[in-house]
């Protein structure tokens, strides 16, 4: 019984800390000296955003962050449940497979939400603003579609955008 209480306490503590860490990580990027009414991300000034665009981008990003926090917290919990099932020799294969399908479904929802966010943000920009962004900075709003250079923990390909072309291709990590 004592082991169960300790395990439950540690699990609760882990989930709390990971949730707080995740919430801190997904906070919008607001440079010092800027207010909440200004662009949440580090958008280039040469885009000449209107006040309406700034407001639309801010509310779109706020909703995205709320949605993603909820989805990713649920995904973390499902992954934990899957690990728990895998580590229990008494767990039935059917239950493990079912839990894995739940994880896959949530991962798919995360990717769909990322794409929706990117399309919404792209639609806020005029065609000229979008072209200017791409020509100077590569594809905008690309965070979240990949895990940085290599595009995932087991991949060694290049990242996205013109600055990354050719970097990492064919290279193997030690």
pLDDT score for 62: 93
Mean pLDDT per 10-residue section of the chain, whose length is 174 residues: 63 59 46 44 72 90 94 96 97 97 97 92 89 74 46 43 46 49
DSSP characters over 101-114: HHHHHHHHHHHHHH
pLDDT score for 34: 43
d(CA 25, CA 36): 17
Phi, psi of 25, rounded to the nearest 5 degrees:
-70, -35
Domains belonging to the chain, first-starting first, are 48-139 (1.20.120.1490)
d(CA 29, CA 42): 7
pLDDT score for 20: 53
pLDDT score for 32: 42
């Amino acid at each position: 019984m004592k082991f169960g209480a300790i395990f439950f306490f540690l699990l609760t503590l882990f989930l709390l800390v990971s949730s707080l860490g995740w919430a801190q990580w997904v906070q919008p990027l607001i440079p010092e000296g800027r207010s909440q009414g200004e662009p949440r991300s580090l958008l280039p000034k040469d885009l000449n955003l209107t006040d309406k665009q700034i407001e639309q981008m801010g509310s779109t990003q706020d909703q995205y962050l709320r949605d993603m926090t909820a989805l990713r917290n649920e995904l973390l919990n499902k992954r934990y449940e899957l690990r728990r099932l895998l580590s229990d020799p008494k767990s039935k294969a059917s239950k493990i497979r079912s839990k894995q399908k739940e994880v896959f479904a949530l991962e798919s929802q995360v990717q769909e939400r990322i794409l929706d966010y990117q399309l919404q943000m792209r639609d806020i920009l005029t065609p000229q603003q979008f072209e200017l962004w791409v020509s100077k900075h590569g594809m905008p709003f690309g965070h979240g579609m990949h895990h940085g250079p290599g595009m995932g923990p087991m991949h060694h390909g290049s990242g996205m955008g013109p600055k990354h072309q050719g970097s990492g291709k064919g290279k193997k990590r030690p």
